[in-house]
Amino acid sequence: KAGVTQTPRYLIKTRGQQVTLSCSPISGHRSVSWYQQTPGQGLQFLFEYFSETQRNKGNFPGRFSGRQFSNSRSEMNVSTLELGDSALYLCASSAIGGRGNIQYFGAGTRLSVL
Amino acid sequence: SQQGEEDPQALSIQEGENATMNCSYKTSINNLQWYRQNSGRGLVHLILIRSNEREKHSGRLRVTLDTSKKSSSLLITASRAADTASYFCATDPPNSGYALNFGKGTSLLVTP
């Protein structure tokens, strides 16, 4: 089975722009989670989708949004980029999500905001 | 928010030695997982231990869980240079919904 695929791998944007990141989960996985990783804050949970529904959201401003499509692929969008949004964005999929489920991570998208 | 705290933040050992990393957490949990991350890449799941388990083994990995102390340890025996990575513990407390709460990780360097 192919792993979790995230595109693009690297992205450079300027302040005020918006960005869309894409995640294709492992085939058959219905849960997709997104995390932001920075040196200062570590890994922070953004949101989780299951069958096109957002089930849980982390403590991030409304500029961060996401969605999941019927084929379980997911996108996250960040509008009005700020310098502090520079981070590695990781997507993870699991069969059904929830407690006790192993998450499989993609290689991440490294976003640099200038 | 960070639930787990790994200790030490950084660890440097030589090949063949054992590496021990600790994780402490704040609230009750259902499960605790350990993940590895090679430099700037995605995380790889290593092992999951449930709250009613005390010890678990997988190859060269040994994980212990002490729910009374709210702590876990990861032991890597006979370390190899390829074990060089950051190691994170992740918990799913009852109020976390479907999120994993990660610690800030232990950076392990194994030198030949």
CB nearest B102 (choices: A42, A50, A88): A42
A9: confidence class by pLDDT, cuts 50, 70, 90: very high
Q: How many interchain CB pairs under 8 A, A with B?
A: 61
Residue A44 C-alpha, separation from nearest chain B C-alpha, in angstroms: 7
Residue type, B80: R
B3: confidence class by pLDDT, cuts 50, 70, 90: low
Task: Give the rounded percent of residues in chain A with a pLDDT score beyond 90.
Answer: 84
> Searching chain B, which residue's CA lies closest to the CA of residue A91?
B42
3-state SS class at A85: helix
Distance (Å, rounded) from C-alpha A21 to C-alpha A111? 9
Cβ pair B102:A58 closer than 8 A: no
Q: Which two tokens stand for residue B77?
A: 């025996």
B93 has a pLDDT exceeding 80: no
pLDDT value for B45: 95
- How much is the mean pLDDT over chain A? 93
Q: Which of B23, B43, B53, B56 to mutate to test the interface with A (most CBs of A within 10 A)?
A: B43
Q: Mean of the pLDDT values across residues A64-77?
A: 97
Task: Give the rounded percent of residues in chain A with a pLDDT score beyond 70.
Answer: 96
> Searching chain A, which residue's CA lies closest to the CA of residue B106?
A42
- The answer to whether the peptide bond before residue B94 is cis (omega within 30 degrees of 0) is no
Read off the DSSP letter of residue B55. Answer: E
Residue for token digits 């360097």? Answer: B109
pLDDT value for A34: 97
Q: Which residues of A touch B48 (CB under 8 A)?
A: 100, 102
Nearest to A88 by CA among A32, A25, A49, A46: A46
